[in-house]
């Protein structure tokens, strides 16, 4: 059941900066193509002196409550999201006063000497935030959530024929939360610690969240700190967070229905050799080699030396030329050389989300997956499927 609508005429005065920030936060949930005109609008409401903005495309709902308290009548109205956003962005940095005409649903805006009227739709037609059953509730530190999403989101698939892979798997178990994403060519996994969940809630749950939603969560997290409350219930997930300046954001999304692949079976368990490599040096070499490799399916070939203290990076293209790089490494395990090819873009993606100075590349043989792990950190790994060495 949705939250009850507000009655009464809307009459508000609020700082333009706060309003513009709010519409930018919720704007990504506005439907870009819909047969329902109301979904192209944003809902503006006032309750107990707090202004809230809401948008939805019926798959994702976003609501942001402004930090500033205003003297205003409780009520609600809608306005075309695009026009409302553009006007707020172009207005002077002063208080914006707006009121709704109940008989026409028009929204009158005044800022400094500017006066505008936007034609809205009835506020009671707008789909309100759904109630998410509190089956599983936990909190996680904002910084941890931000890093976990950033380190796994790149591995989600964009192939709509396998919808389940376009989402990120979240597995909650006691005091831990696992993030998993895969497009079948690579798999990223991050384990994170969560804070104790309330008494009475389920201590385990799993959910496949659309990658678009996780991208929006990452965006609204920003660079702040504090906790994020996560609720998983029924076929939905809810994220709630407070901002340093006093605002509050809620994001609710439908989950992707289906069985996520058994990701654990593709993670190699017994590598025969581990190469420890300086991340910055290796990443720069891969980016250079990728200039040649992009004409050959982004293929770069890694070869370990006989003595094990170096690795070469090569790429070839009949239209561009050849690339050769040599990097010092430390090797553990089998002393026989190994030759393996990877997609340069996939290597660049994972190296770009690591923060450690060094990383471990775990290998077995040419046609077996390789595993990238940050040095000294067992909470993250990325599995990369190899390419044919030609």
- 363: helix, coil or strand? strand
Q: Is the pLDDT of residue 367 over 80?
A: yes
Q: What is the pLDDT of residues 117-138, one digit of tens each?
A: 999 999 999 999 999 999 999 9
pLDDT tens digit sequence for 213-228: 999 999 999 888 899 9
pLDDT in tens, 242-257: 987 788 999 999 999 9
Question: Is residue 69 over pLDDT 70?
Answer: no
Q: How confident is the model at residue 334 (pLDDT cuts 50, 70, 90)?
A: confident
**Whole-prediction pTM value?**
0.92
Ordered domains of the chain (ranges, CATH):
11-125 (3.10.150.10), 136-264 (3.10.150.10), 267-384 (3.10.150.10)
39/376: higher pLDDT: 39
Tell me the C-alpha to C-alpha distance, in Å, between residue 7 and each of 4, 77, 122, 360, 366.
9, 10, 12, 60, 67
């Amino acid at each position: 059941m949705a939250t009850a609508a507000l009655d009464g005429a809307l009459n508000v005065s609020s700082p333009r900066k706060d309003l513009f920030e709010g519409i930018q936060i919720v704007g990504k949930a506005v439907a870009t193509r819909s047969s329902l005109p109301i979904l192209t609008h944003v809902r503006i409401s006032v309750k107990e002196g707090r202004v809230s903005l809401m948008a939805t495309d019926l798959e994702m709902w976003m609501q942001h409550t402004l930090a500033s308290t205003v003297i205003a009548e409780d009520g609600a109205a809608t306005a075309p999201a695009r026009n409302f956003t553009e006007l707020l962005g172009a207005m002077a940095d002063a208080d914006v006063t707006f009121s709704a005409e109940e008989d026409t649903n028009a929204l009158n805006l005044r800022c400094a000497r500017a006066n505008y009227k936007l034609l809205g739709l009835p506020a009671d037609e707008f789909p309100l935030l759904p109630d998410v059953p509190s089956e599983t509730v936990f909190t996680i530190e904002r910084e941890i959530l931000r890093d976990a999403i950033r380190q796994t989101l790149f591995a989600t698939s964009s192939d709509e024929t396998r919808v389940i892979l376009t989402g990120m798997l979240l597995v909650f178990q006691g005091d831990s939360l696992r993030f998993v994403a895969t497009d079948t060519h690579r798999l990223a996994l991050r384990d994170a610690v969560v804070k104790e969940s309330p008494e009475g809630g389920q201590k385990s749950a799993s959910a496949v969240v659309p990658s678009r939603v996780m991208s929006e969560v990452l965006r609204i997290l920003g660079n702040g700190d504090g906790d994020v409350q996560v609720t998983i219930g029924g076929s939905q997930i809810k994220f709630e967070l407070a901002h340093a300046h006093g605002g509050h954001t809620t994001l609710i999304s439908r989950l992707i229905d289906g069985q996520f692949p058994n990701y654990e079976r593709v993670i190699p368990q017994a590598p025969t050799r581990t190469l420890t490599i300086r991340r910055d040096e290796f990443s720069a070499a891969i980016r250079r080699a990728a200039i040649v490799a992009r004409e050959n399916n982004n293929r770069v070939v890694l070869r370990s030396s006989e003595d094990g203290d170096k690795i070469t990076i090569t790429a070839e293209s009949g239209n561009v030329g050849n690339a050769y790089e040599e990097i010092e490494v430390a090797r553990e395990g089998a002393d026989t050389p190994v030759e393996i090819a990877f997609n340069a873009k996939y290597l660049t993606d994972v190296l770009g989300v690591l923060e450690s100075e060094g990383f471990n590349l775990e290998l077995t043989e040419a046609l077996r997956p390789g595993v990238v792990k940050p040095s000294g950190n067992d909470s993250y790994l990325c599995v990369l499927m190899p390419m044919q060495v030609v």
